[in-house]
Chain A
């Protein structure tokens, strides 16, 4: 090409082909691993590929997946949110307490999501305006939000949800077209998140902040405002998962979502979110959550003690980060 036109130059990119582009993505390999694990389990066990088990797997991973969407946004912006498990329980508790007091579902749900957004706003303001490290702020919130959930419920189990009891259980535990509702909601939220990441200025700005915060400030991006919104987004996702999980369990105690942050961070990181900031995809969060749930499920089906689960989830984070390091050194 002696004289390339402008369009040629635009379309030329460093990626040479579709295959190279796909295999260069961590998520491709993770997806492959998940598919491979599913195939292996189908062959090795009689119980994996049953309708009932698959229904359980998809529903279980939906909760982690929804929260991981928010976590991916936070990690991509260069932060971390350790308070998601506690946000989830305070949201679950708010909706349960209000509904068991006779309120309709919409009031309880609205209140639960507002409380979650408030938790996220407090996190965000302390991180963005008071410039405190996200690790410290959200670690504090992890303790505060769970404790408030205990105060709110007097640490009692709630399993009766007033007039809209059946609706709540249907929303969290039911299925439409054979798909569990939490999974449907996960798919919708993942699509919206992917769209926002790619096509809204909000997405561009949060990835810019994660990539080089100083550059974001110098080019006039409203860094503080974007950061607050990112933590509110993460808290909102945890809040939505909280409401759904109450409906699925049909009851709630204050240890709901305990240690969930680790699984969620693992899902996001396995799905390609870069803990140094600036990288991550909505699809990756979903696939990461799926892989973790499949592994967890397979441990149970293969008769391996559940005590081993933590070892697997923990090693996954380390392996995913190591994989990322290795890949970056190669290029």
Chain B
């Protein structure tokens, strides 16, 4: 059973064919490297999956059930979480507050609903432990390394029992040591049966962590194969068009 299946997804903006008949199946716990040049349709595909816009044609299945997303909230309810490139993190707040941003748990005291910090801390400590990250719930985010910040953003996706996590260029602007940290976070997600779609320009990162590589070129899916059967050279050829299809 695939956790996510796309069947003949197309997306048009007027005369521009951003996605052309893209079909793709992702298994639970699978790490998929989604690659392509600028304008190849990567972000359009991600936005279709995340419910930001509806495809012009084609169907989306989550765990073999057909889904129609009208807004990002619908996709979120179906178990799709997005880690944004800028991580959507508030530097002035603690790690725990950031994990629960926008969905702070409360408990009732008389007529008041007060934020339940104890629960936020213990729950986020659990999530960080699951991610094998050393991030501490009470720490302010602005003192954290890039890897720890990623852990905060990823822990947020675990809060809601995500089935699929979409990550947009998580390793673009961080140091080598932190990249290793982020890749290990991705492996942790995968070990917990959560599929990860990794959008990245960094070939070595993708091959280090991905089970499968998917290449888009001018809106068309030109490769969908196991990473072990492919190579950075082949993928580069596919991205640029030197290799037609694989």
Contact = CB atoms under 8 A, between A and B. Distances in A.
Given A10-B125, A201-B106, A215 B136 contact: no
14 contacts: A6-B125, A9-B125, A12-B138, A14-B136, A14-B139, A200-B113, A204-B93, A204-B104, A208-B101, A208-B102, A212-B88, A212-B91, A216-B90, A331-B143
Interface in A79-113: none
Contacts of B73: 220
A198 to B, nearest CB: 8
B174 interface: no
Interface stretch (B3-11, B114-122, B196-204): B114-122
Given A10-B125, A211-B91, A212-B88, A219 B102 contact: yes
Contacts of A211: 90-93
A215 B125 contact: no
Given A204-B115, A216-B102, A220-B102, A279 B143 contact: no
B147 interface: no
B92 A210 contact: yes
A161 interface: no
Contacts of B143: 14, 331
Interface residues of A, number: 30
Given A201-B104, A215-B101, A13 B89 contact: no
A330 interface: no
Interface in A1-41: 6, 9-14
B122 A6 contact: yes
A130 interface: no
A200 B92 contact: no
Nearest to B116: A199
Contact of B93 (A9, A10, A207): A207
A216 B98 CA distance: 10
Given A216-B102, A221-B101, A12 B90 contact: no
Contacts of A14: 136, 138-140, 143
A224 to B, nearest CB: 14
Interface of B: 73, 84, 86-93, 97, 101-104, 106, 112-115, 121-122, 125-126, 128-129, 136-140, 143, 156
Contacts of A219: 88, 101-103, 156
A239 interface: no
Given A216-B102, A219-B102, A10 B88 contact: no
A203 B128 CA distance: 25
Contacts of A201: 104, 106, 113, 115
B219 to A, nearest CB: 26
A255 interface: no
Nearest to A6: B125
Nearest to B87: A215
Contacts of B136: 9-10, 12-14
Contacts of A124: none
Contacts of A210: 92
Contact of B101 (A198, A203, A216): A216
A328 B103 CA distance: 30
Interface in A206-229: 207-208, 210-212, 214-216, 218-221
A247 B62 CA distance: 66
Contacts of B87: 215
A203 B114 CA distance: 10
A27 to B, nearest CB: 16
A278 interface: yes
Given A6-B125, A219-B102, A13 B138 contact: yes
Nearest to A13: B138
Interface string A250-284: 00000000000000000000000010001100000
A214 B136 CA distance: 24
A78 to B, nearest CB: 10
B100 to A, nearest CB: 8
Contact of A10 (B97, B106, B113, B138): B138
Contact of A215 (B90, B103, B121, B137): B90
